[in-house]
Structure 1
Amino acid sequence: MRKNDISLVDIPLALVLLTRLPLPQLASSSFQRQSRAVWAFPLAGLAVTLPACMAAYVGQALGLSAALAAGLFLMVQVLLTGAMHEDGLADCSDGFWGGFAPARRLEIMKDSQIGSYGVLALVFAIGLRWHALSLLLDLGQGWSALAIALLSRAMMPMLMVWLPNARQSGLSQSVGRPSRRATALGLGLAVALALPLLGFVSLAVAALLALLTLGLGLVARAKIGGQTGDVLGACQQVSEVAGLLILVALFS
């Protein structure tokens, strides 16, 4: 790694970008490193999912069913992220399939109102995550969800490197285009931290999620000509749903 490619300030910066955790105010100069901080995106997943796992574990210890503990898990996770990834999924679903031209699709995605496609996408995504988590908790594999939180957030920088920004404003545009080096470091970090949880299966899961990200990127390029913050959020959600389903298939 070249000098200044990584810095410890990248960790709180990634948390500011991807979570709603109460954090000390960062110096304005720190935000000049936004595109370099993508290697720490998996740590943001760890920060919001570790408390969610603990909440589910405590819930089960107090006698809650796996389904209710999974509900606690999702509630904590959504509170700590501010539902930003879910919002991206809903906006992409409305825009990609609610408009007939790239400009109109981008306009729909920017609209704060949610349409039928967005509602259905959230229902399916939350429903699948809830059920998959309840099955994993019932199998005693709830902590494996940490691995998916890490890997799913390592997928977002891959789209940022590959696709141009589809609009000249928004979160993704303000962050900038990361380097391949920072992106690869983030993926390597996610896999390394997932290894104690899943073993070498982590490599296969990461490969499958990367293929899924490639597919989503092709759709985004065809629909709007690139990526936006909403596309990145949708990428995280689709990756998380797919990752949890993969774990259920492996552990069942």
Structure 2
Amino acid sequence: MADWNKTRNFFSQQLDRWWRDCCVAGGFLTRLPFPAPKDGAGKGALAGSSRAFPVIGAAVGAIAGLSLMVVAGLDLHPLACAFVALAVSALVTGALHEDGLADVADGFGGGETKAKKLKIMKDSRLGAFGMLAVVFSVGIRAGILGGLPSPGMAALALIAAAVLSRGLLPAVMAVMDPARKSGLAFQAGTPDQESWVTALVLGGLLGFLFLGPGGGLMALAMAIIAVAALAWLAERQVGGFTGDVLGAQQQAAEIAVLAAAAAAL
């Protein structure tokens, strides 16, 4: 009986920890009404909850995928269905990642020095580079989704892309330094090895589940390449990562996963 109680308490504690991590991660990554943790979410809380990023990605992808299936049932053109799904995804996340992509494009494209680039990235105004980056991101993703053989496959690809693209972000936070000594990236903290490895493995496994072994492996490899390329660019441009850089990496990884899905499905 004592052993059973210990086992039950252990799993209860683990479930509580996972739920807290999902609430912290979901409260930041989405506009969904996740309850705030009772003990608050101060400095380092986001890094501590980062293992739940793929879980939140699965929720975002599932909502977007469901919306795609619903509008597909109305016999809309596949491209229109794809745009609706991406619009729903942006609504769920508050266009958090698209905003980061736009800021990175404006900063990297318009600034001459590190300080100038970071200043532009903090500016809430949208420039030409940022607008084009978002247009290209949405257009490429919609084009890929609209070209998949069926709405069901498009929905699975959406979920896989949402999961894998977010599952890679904790590793970036762990291996790169923040570009600023203030701001989101600095306040988020550094994920420990357990957190970023869990996020990476969980993201990979869910990707394999939705895309199959071959498609999942291709998607993971292409997403890693996309994220690593932007990490290299960010290191050269601003000397580290910011919240905007993470958003741009998520967008690049999502495009990479969808491209892999189109090749595999």
Q: Is residue 237 from structure 1 mapped to residue 251 from structure 2 by the alignment?
A: yes
Q: Is residue 7 from structure 1 mapped to residue 7 from structure 2 by the alignment?
A: no
Q: Match for 2:209 among 172, 193, 196?
A: 196
1:65 alignment counterpart = 77
Cα RMSD (Å) of the superposition?
A: 1.8
Identity %: 38
2:9 alignment counterpart = none
Larger Rg: 2
Distance 1:137 1:41 in 2: 29
1:107 alignment counterpart = 119
Give 1:27 shift: 2.3
Q: Match for 1:93 among 86, 95, 105?
A: 105
| Contact map agreement 2:223 2:253 (CA 8 A) in 1 | yes
Change (3 A) 1:140 1:50: closer
Give 1:137 shift: 5.8
TM-score, length basis structure 2: 0.88
| Contact map agreement 2:24 2:41 (CA 8 A) in 1 | yes
| Contact map agreement 2:27 2:36 (CA 8 A) in 1 | no
Give 1:139 shift: 6.7
Distance 2:73 2:80 in 1: 12
| Contact map agreement 2:47 2:190 (CA 8 A) in 1 | yes
Single out whichever of 75-84 and 31-40 deviates more from structure 2.
31-40
| Contact map agreement 1:86 1:122 (CA 8 A) in 2 | yes
| Contact map agreement 2:60 2:159 (CA 8 A) in 1 | no
Change (3 A) 1:141 1:193: same
1:183 alignment counterpart = 196
1:40-189 equivalences in 2 (<5 Å) = 40-136=52-148, 138=150, 140-142=152-154, 143-189=156-202
Give 1:26 shift: 2.5
Give 1:28 shift: 4.2
Q: Is residue 36 from structure 1 mapped to residue 14 from structure 2 by the alignment?
A: no
Single out whichever of 98-107 and 46-55 deviates more from structure 2.
46-55
Single out whichever of 168-177 and 132-141 deviates more from structure 2.
132-141
Residues 201-249 of structure 1, C-alpha deviations (whole Å, 9 max, x = no match): 2123212211221111110000000000000000000111121122112
Q: Is residue 207 from structure 1 mapped to residue 221 from structure 2 by the alignment?
A: yes
Residues 48-86 of structure 1, C-alpha deviations (whole Å, 9 max, x = no match): 111111111111112222112112101110000000100
**What letter matches 1:159 in structure 2?**
V
Distance 2:225 2:194 in 1: 19
TM-score, length basis structure 1: 0.93
Single out whichever of 180-189 and 22-31 deviates more from structure 2.
22-31
Give 1:161 shift: 1.1
Aligned length: 248
Single out whichever of 228-237 and 16-25 deviates more from structure 2.
16-25
Single out whichever of 32-41 and 11-20 deviates more from structure 2.
32-41
1:27 alignment counterpart = 38
Single out whichever of 241-250 and 30-39 deviates more from structure 2.
30-39
The ranges of structure 1 where at least 4 consecutive aligned residues each deviate by more than 4 angstroms after the TM superposition are none
Change (3 A) 1:30 1:107: closer
**What letter matches 1:145 in structure 2?**
L
Change (3 A) 1:7 1:38: same
Give 1:30 shift: 4.2
**What letter matches 1:185 in structure 2?**
T
